[in-house]
């Protein structure tokens, strides 16, 4: 089966995760995709394919004869799609011989513009996959799943020499929980690649240091007709707080290695208002400065409005995986080689977010992230090409070949 056939099947399966849930997976719908993937792995002849109680899918391809001592290589992708946009009832659309111009997405009012996504011009002549503009597509990361399964199928059916291969599909990556409960002993890989990046030739070994921060502003409600010198409107304090952040340091005004403060949720009333921020920086020292800056905002407002008027809570959700990969940069070089073998010129791009690979690298499983060919992820304008799916499937196959040559399992 070609990777785009698998992909088109997967995007129709609802698997949106939900932030704030107290269970894993965060949504029951993720189990449906997990069960299907187990069945497909078994159909390929991967006898030990299974799903655990939390929806994690595992499977192993034993080494070819004579390659039992080769490096144990793993591939990982996630099953959930982002809760940032609707992900149910996805209607994929195929545009053959794409002309390289803007794409109007049905009657939704959404347009994929080349001005916003310049890489589209290089996709001219390809078959583009997008939606009707009312949902995201789900290439993040169902493209990665399709590429991994197609790689596994070809390795087995074509008799490609290979060492031990481990496969895992995780839930809840989009809400930063995907790597938390992956059983590394069961997965049993020495090194792994997460197939969860953007464009087909992109490689990532750096991620943001990430902090989730919540400001809680306390006020006092009283009848507005008798509120003079009594009412304290927490919403106005929250607006003042938000205005204290540098306007140039938001996602819409930053790129590359530039960090940001992202106000992604604000809710409240006169009595109580909460603001939720995502704080990102590739540099650990600058991240600490950002935390201290937020603490200084709290001190200033509490001096102005009274002790404990504003409270800050935060937690580190991701560290820059470059810290954990310094001794394993051969993973990057091998991925470059694999891409060049299939005609792609690799581009190293820092991830302006996090990945399962970042967390797993700090848990002791060095992981590099590979692009899957997707653009405009987490949006109604998400897209991918059939050719990208095929090329990154071939990249995974070349990595299998490269690692089969690594006969020293202690490397």
Q: Is 141 a catalytic residue?
A: no
Q: Which of 140, 141, 147, 173 is catalytic?
A: 173
CA dist 202 and 199 (Å) reads: 6
List all residues 6 or more positions away from 255 whose beta carbon is below 8 Å from its beta carbon.
352
In 3D space, the residue among 43, 98, 203, 144 whose CA is nearest the CA of residue 377 turns out to be: 144
Kindly provide the residue ranges of all beta strands, DSSP E only, lying in 118-231, ordered along the sequence.
128-130, 165-170, 191-197, 202-204, 209-218
pTM for this prediction: 0.89
Domain layout of the chain by residue ranges: 3-206+320-404, 209-318
Query: What's the number of CA atoms in the CB half-sphere (13 Å) around residue 71?
Result: 21
According to CATH, the topology of domain 3-206+320-404 is: Aminopeptidase (3.40.630)
From the list 4, 80, 198, 382, the catalytic residue is: 80
Question: Do the Cβ atoms of 184 and 78 come closer than 8 Å?
Answer: no
Q: pLDDT tens, 55-108?
A: 999 999 999 999 999 999 999 999 999 999 999 999 999 999 999 999 999 999
Distance of alpha carbon 323 from the chain centroid: 19
Encode pLDDT of 289-324 as tens digits.
Answer: 999 999 999 999 999 999 999 999 999 988 999 999
pLDDT digits (tens, 9 = 90+) for 35-44: 999 999 999 9
As a whole number of angstroms, the distance between CA 138 and CA 384 comes to 10
**CATH placement of domain 209-318:** 3.30.70.360
The whole-number pLDDT of residue 20 equals 85
Query: Model confidence over 114-127: pLDDT tens digits?
Result: 999 999 999 999 99
Our answer to whether residue 80 is catalytic in this structure is yes
User: Residue 410 pLDDT more than 80?
Assistant: no
Cα(153)–Cα(41) distance, rounded to whole angstroms? 9
List Cα–Cα distances, 382 to 6, 51, 139, 387, in angstroms: 18, 29, 7, 16
């Amino acid at each position: 089966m070609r990777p785009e056939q698998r992909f088109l099947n997967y995007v129709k399966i609802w698997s949106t995760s939900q932030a704030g849930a107290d269970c894993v997976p965060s949504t029951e719908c993720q189990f449906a995709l997990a069960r299907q993937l187990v069945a497909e792995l078994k159909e390929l002849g991967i006898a030990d394919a299974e799903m655990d109680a939390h929806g994690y899918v595992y499977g192993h391809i034993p080494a070819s004869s004579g390659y039992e001592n080769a490096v144990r290589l793993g591939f990982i992708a996630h099953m959930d799609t982002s809760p940032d946009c609707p992900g149910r009832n996805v209607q994929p659309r195929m545009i053959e011989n794409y002309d390289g111009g803007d794409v109007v997405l049905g009657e939704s009012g959404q347009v994929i513009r080349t001005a916003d996504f310049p890489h589209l011009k290089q996709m001219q002549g390809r078959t583009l996959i997008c939606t009707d503009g009312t949902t995201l597509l789900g290439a993040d990361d169902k493209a990665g799943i399709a590429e991994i399964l197609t790689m596994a199928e070809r390795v087995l059916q074509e008799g490609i020499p290979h060492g031990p291969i481990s496969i895992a599909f995780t839930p809840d990556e989009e809400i930063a929980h995907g790597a938390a409960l992956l059983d590394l002993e069961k997965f049993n890989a020495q090194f792994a690649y997460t197939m969860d990046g953007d464009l087909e030739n992109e490689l990532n070994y750096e991620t943001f240091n990430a902090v989730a921060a919540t400001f809680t502003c306390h006020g006092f409600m009283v009848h507005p007709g008798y509120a003079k010198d009594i009412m304290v409107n927490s919403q106005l304090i929250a607006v003042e707080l938000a205005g204290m952040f540098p306007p140039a340091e938001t996602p819409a005004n930053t790129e590359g290695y530039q960090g940001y403060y992202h106000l992604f949720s604000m809710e409240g009333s006169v009595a109580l208002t909460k603001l939720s921020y995502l704080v990102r920086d590739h540099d650990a020292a600058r991240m600490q400065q950002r935390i201290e800056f937020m603490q200084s905002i709290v001190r200033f407002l509490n001096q102005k409005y009274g002790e404990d008027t504003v409270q800050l809570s935060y937690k580190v959700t991701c560290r820059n995986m470059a810290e954990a990969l310094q001794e394993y940069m051969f993973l990057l070089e091998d991925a470059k080689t694999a891409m060049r073998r299939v005609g792609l010129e690799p581009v190293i791009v820092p991830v302006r977010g996090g990945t399962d690979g970042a967390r797993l690298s700090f848990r002791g499983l060095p992981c590099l992230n590979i692009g899957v060919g997707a653009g405009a992820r987490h949006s109604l304008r998400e897209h991918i090409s059939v050719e990208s799916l095929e090329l990154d499937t071939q990249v995974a196959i070349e990595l299998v070949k490269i690692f089969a040559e690594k006969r020293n399992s202690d490397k």
